[in-house]
Every structure is written in C-alpha cells, then in structure tokens.
Amino acid sequence: KLPTHVTLVDVGPRDGLQNEKQAVSTEDKAQLVALLQAAGLKEIEVTSFVSPKWVPQMADNAAVMAAIARQPGVRYSVLTPNLKGFESALATRPDEIVVFAAASEAFSQKNINCSIAESIERFVPVVEAAHAAGIKVRGALSCAVGCPYEGDVSADQVERVVQLMKGIGVDHLGVADTIGVGTPRKVQAAMERALKHYPLVEVSGHFHDTYGQALANIYACLELGVHHFDTSVAGLGGCPYAKGATGNVASEDVVFMFNGLGIDTGIDLDRLVDAGAFISGVLGRPPVSRVARALLAK
C-alpha cells in the first residue's frame, strides 16, 4: 500500500539556480520563494552557504534569506558545507541545514575538495552547533547510485556513508541520484540501505531527471513507503560538479503524478505552474517540466 500523503521540498531556489550562469537577482530569488509558498510548499531549500568562488550564483545567500517573506508553517533550509558556512547561515535563522557528502570518493573531491572521511569530520562541529541552536540537520548523500567520475556506485558504498552520517548525529538522510542514472530497482537497493539506519520519516529521495527516470524512481521509493522527496520547480537545476547533470525532477510533474495516484501533497498545481513560469521567464526559457508545458499550452 502506497503512502497517502507526501512531503515535497522544493530545491529550485538552491539546486535549481546554483548551476545558472546568468546572475539571478536577489529580488527574483525571493519572489520565487514567495510563489512556491503561495502554491502550498511547506519546505523550501532557499540557498547555500558555500564558497562564492565555487558557486557564484549563491553569493547573495544572506541577502536572499533576509529578503524572503517567511510564512508560518513553512520551513526554510540552506546548505552548509563547513563550520564557516554554518556560522554565516545561523545568523539568517534557517529552520534546517543540509550537510552534503558523497558515496564516491572522486565526487567528494570534486564537489567539496576533500575525502569522504574528511567531509564527515568537517560536519561533526556543524551538527553539534546546529543541534545546540535547535536546528535540524539533513544529510544529502550524492552519487548514491552512480558517479560521473567513478561510474557505478554499490549499495555497500551507500550504506558505509549512511552509517557515518548516522554516527555523527545527522537527523535525516536524503538519498541523491546526482546524475540521474538510477533505475527503480537500483534506487530501491540504495534506499533500503538508508532505511536500515534511519526510520521512514527521516529518509528522502532526491532525483535528477537526466535520463528521464526520476518519476519511476520516486514511484519505486513510494513502494518502500518513502514519502519525502526533493523536487525542483520547472525542473531547474544541475550540479556544477557533475557535468551534463540536468535538473532535479520537476515539482509540477511530481505533483501531477501524486494527484493522479490520490496522494496528498498539499500543493496547488496551477499556482506551482505559475511559480515555474515566473522563474522560467526570468531565465528566458520555457520550463523543462512536461506538465507545466502542457498546462501552459492550454
């Protein structure tokens, strides 16, 4: 039996925009957040406190956090790769922070310039400081099914890093298919390893749609009872350290599927399409979301 309701985290403002070459204004980023919450999103990944030399688009992180009009009942999360990032983030009052590690060594080096073991060591003081401030910590596990540099990633590799995250007190584990190469059974195998160490309510799926498999992979997770997914409005996004990685699965496509399955998301699809149309207009191209294109053409 599938879950009856799901929680979606829209990562468009962060994962979606981080890869955009053209500068998006702070005002437009804040407007995107406003439109997402108006559509019913209860969790929004707003920005990341990473090095501006590495990801220039996120350089206005604190300004974006200051510019958003927070709505009660909505939770705002940000990425923090190290204590420096966490300290800057803390001043902006996030509800949740995200530390991010990889299941493959090569990706860890390219993305955060350190080994998996070093990344976990870096996260220790971040998790401690977050908990001391009453902030929940989500752990994103990149390359959980495949790596752009190493190829296939085994479920054993996934479980090893899941255990390291659990060991340092990370509250929630997000299984991420960074380059979208996962297929349903492979994704289930990775998810099952996360579920050996985390309860269902603290596991989520984060799927890039590079190979068009993301909806199938989400359905495969539903079969395991997983009911928490990261999605990106208009299908924006990609990781700057994963060449060719396209956007996360489009929020509109996911909501359309859940509506059809009778699974409650709390999201108004028409208003979500409006949010996607807004940011697509800013970027000067149509939304990647197939559902958005179909509805906008009506």
Catalytic residue positions, numbered? 239
Q: Which two tokens stand for residue 160?
A: 């090893």
The position carrying tokens 């949010």 is: 275
Q: Closer CB to ligand HMG, residue 3 or residue 247?
A: 247
Question: Which one of ligand HMG, Mg ion, none interacts with residue 113, CB within 5 to 8 A by kind?
Answer: ligand HMG
Residue 57 lies near ligand HMG (rule: CB under 6 A): no
**Which of 204-235 are b and which e, b meaning 16 or more Cβ less than 10 Å from the residue's Cβ?**
bbbbbbbeebbbebbebbbebebbbbbbbbbb
Task: Output b/e per residue, 14-45; b: 16+ Cβ within 10 A.
Answer: bbbbbbbeeebebebbbbbbbbbbebbbbbbb
Long-range CB contacts (< 8 A, 24+ apart) of 257-263? Answer: 257/215, 257/218, 257/219, 258/6, 261/2, 261/222, 262/4, 263/2, 263/3, 263/4, 263/5, 263/6, 263/222
Q: Considering only 48-56, 181-189, 214-222, 277-285, which stretch makes contact with ligand HMG by CB under 6 A? A: 48-56
Among 7, 40, 42, 54, which residue sits at the site for ligand HMG (rule: CB under 6 A)? 54
Residue of the chain from 26, 37, 47, 48 that contacts ligand HMG (CB under 6 A): 48
**Partner in contact with 55, chosen from Mg ion, ligand HMG, none, beta carbon below 5 to 8 Å by kind:** ligand HMG
Interaction of residue 239 with ligand HMG, rule CB under 6 A = yes
Residue nearest to ligand HMG (CB): 85
- Cβ at position 244, least distance to Mg ion in Å: 13
- In angstroms, how far is CA 31 from the centroid of its own chain? 19
- As measured in angstroms, the least distance from the Cβ of 21 to ligand HMG is 15
| Residue 65 binds to ligand HMG (criterion: CB under 6 A) | no
Question: How is residue 51 written in tokens?
Answer: 């090095």
The item of ligand HMG, Mg ion, none sharing an interface with residue 7, based on CB under 5 to 8 Å by kind, is none
12 belongs to the binding site for ligand HMG (CB under 6 A): no
Closest residue by beta carbon to Mg ion: 15
**What DSSP character marks residue 56?**
G
Q: Decide whether 15 or 60 has the Cβ nearer to Mg ion.
A: 15
> Residue 12: which of Mg ion, ligand HMG, none does it interact with, CB under 5 to 8 A by kind?
none
List beta partners, residue 228.
Answer: 7
253 in contact with Mg ion (CB under 5 A): no
User: Of 180, 98, 97, 183, nearest to 141 (Cα)?
Assistant: 98
Q: List 115's β-bridge partners, or say none.
A: none
147 touches ligand HMG by CB under 6 A: no
Instruction: Please report how close the Cβ of residue 18 comes to Mg ion at its closest, in angstroms.
Output: 9
Q: Smallest distance, Å, CB 132 to ligand HMG?
A: 19
Per-position x/- string for 5-24, each x denoting binding to Mg ion as judged by CB under 5 A, each - no binding: ----------x---------
